[in-house]
Amino acid sequence: MSWLPDDFAHPVLVPLPHTGTGTAHHLRPIREADTPLDYPAVMGSRERLWSIYGPAWGWPAATMTYEADQADLLRHEQEIAAHQSFNYALFDAAETTLLGCVYIDPPEKTGADAEVSWWVVDELVGGEVEQALDALVPRWIAADWPFERPRFVGREISWPDWLALPDLPAA
């Protein structure tokens, strides 16, 4: 059984409510072609991202190359097309800068029907853009996605507590 209804159409553009920064930001599904923007965003925030995602995902490795990131984004693009999982990138209005990502994945652990997490680049941590994204994601998931029990990993449950949850049985 699929984790999403067969007729589900994933959102293709999600505006971030105005943050007062004078710039409109939005989310859209990430593509392999975004590598020139994704790689510097990820590697520029790598230490903090590793502290969040490293224990669970082993990402982003200190040795991650541009080519490895490109392969990762191609995999994400293919997973999005197949509705297997979703990676949305946060961009400025002109899509000249990638500012973070939102991941919407099928559950790996018991007790949820989706697992959602997100991050912003280091320079936005604690600022208006991160606060707007923090407010948007749960509302967006509730309004536009067919989940009854989404789990916001790293927000409503810590990553260590998530890792300690029982895995779903193998299908």
CATH number of the CATH domain containing 138: 3.40.630.30
Q: Is residue 3 part of a domain?
A: no
- DSSP assignment of 114-146: EEEEEEE-GGGTTSHHHHHHHHHHHHHHHHHS-
Give the model's pLDDT for residue 23: 66
> How high does pLDDT run on average in the chain?
94
Q: Could you give the number of structural domains in the chain?
A: 1
- Is the pLDDT assigned to residue 116 strictly greater than 60? yes
Q: Is residue 1 part of a domain?
A: no
Q: What percent of the chain has pLDDT over 90?
A: 91
pLDDT, tens only, 66-114: 999 999 999 999 999 999 999 999 999 999 999 999 999 999 999 999 9
- Is the pLDDT assigned to residue 2 strictly greater than 90? no
Q: Is residue 129 part of a domain?
A: yes
Give the model's pLDDT for residue 20: 62
CA 25 to chain centroid, in Å, comes to: 15
pLDDT, tens only, 36-74: 999 999 999 999 999 999 999 999 999 999 999 999 999
Q: Which domain holds residue 89?
A: 14-163
- Respond yes or no on whether the N-terminal peptide bond of residue 169 is cis (omega within 30° of 0): no
Q: Amino acid identity of 118?
A: W
Q: Is residue 157 part of a domain?
A: yes
Sign of CA dihedral 70, 75, 81, 86: negative
Closest CA to 47 of 118, 122, 103: 122
Q: Is residue 93 part of a domain?
A: yes
Give the model's pLDDT for residue 17: 85
Give the model's pLDDT for residue 151: 97
- Is the pLDDT assigned to residue 19 strictly greater than 70? no
Q: Is residue 76 part of a domain?
A: yes
